[in-house]
A and B are shown apart, each in its own frame.
Chain A
Amino acid sequence: AQKVTQAQTEISVVEKEDVTLDCVYETRDTTYYLFWYKQPPSGELVFLIRRNSFDEQNEISGRYSWNFQKSTSSFNFTITASQVVDSAVYFCALSSYKLIFGSGTRLLVRP
């Protein structure tokens, strides 16, 4: 069975703080993909990143970085120097043949 756990329901930070969103997954598949999506207050879902199970290299994109560790089945997302525009719900997702989402973490960045 597949499962994605985002234990942090809601996080509140002050602008310019760094924040890490946790994601832990379960799967028996050896080939799988991990994703992060952002859902701003407007409601649409925005793709942020995809990683495959064979690539544990961390990735950085501007203020965003992702840490994938197969040993702990985690795929954590860090926002450096957070901004108010980062306020959104962030979803981690796991895919082998079906894309399964975690319950999401609501991030509130206060000015």
Chain B
Amino acid sequence: NAGVTQTPKFQVLKTGQSMTLQCAQDMNHNSMYWYRQDPGMGLRLIYYSASEGTTDKGEVPNGYNVSRLNKREFSLRLESAAPSQTSVYFCASSEALTGGANTGELFFGEGSRLTVL
């Protein structure tokens, strides 16, 4: 009954450090996403992966990289963390994009709270 699992749940970094947020889903979904949530900004899409082997930029990709390791896993990497990347990060998955339209409900992880000092 795991759904979407993100690790770590909390992380504190110093400016310039790197880290990877891990995400795994067990629902056999093809599409996976990374969002960040900031106060008053809602959720903003960082990167998404429509299917295994593909990744695309979202609204705010700068400063991030992603890897779709396999169908289950989609990681988000910060190569050189900046205070502006302090946020709550959500991973999500959904059924395959169909005809260019994301028709499916997104299933979200519990979020990862990242603080960059």
Contacts and interface: CB of A to CB of B under 8 A. Distances in A.
Whether both chains belong to one complex is answered with yes
Interface of A: 4, 6, 9, 29, 31-33, 35, 37, 43-45, 47, 50, 52, 91, 95-104
Contacts of A97: 50, 97, 100-102
A5 to B, nearest CB: 10
B12 interface: no
23 contacts: A4-B42, A31-B101, A33-B103, A37-B106, A43-B88, A44-B111, A45-B43, A45-B108, A47-B107, A91-B43, A96-B100, A96-B101, A96-B102, A97-B100, A97-B102, A98-B45, A99-B33, A99-B102, A101-B42, A101-B43, A101-B44, A102-B42, A103-B42
A39 B99 CA distance: 29
Interface of B: 33, 35, 40-45, 48, 50, 58-59, 88, 90, 92, 94, 97, 99-103, 105-108, 110-111
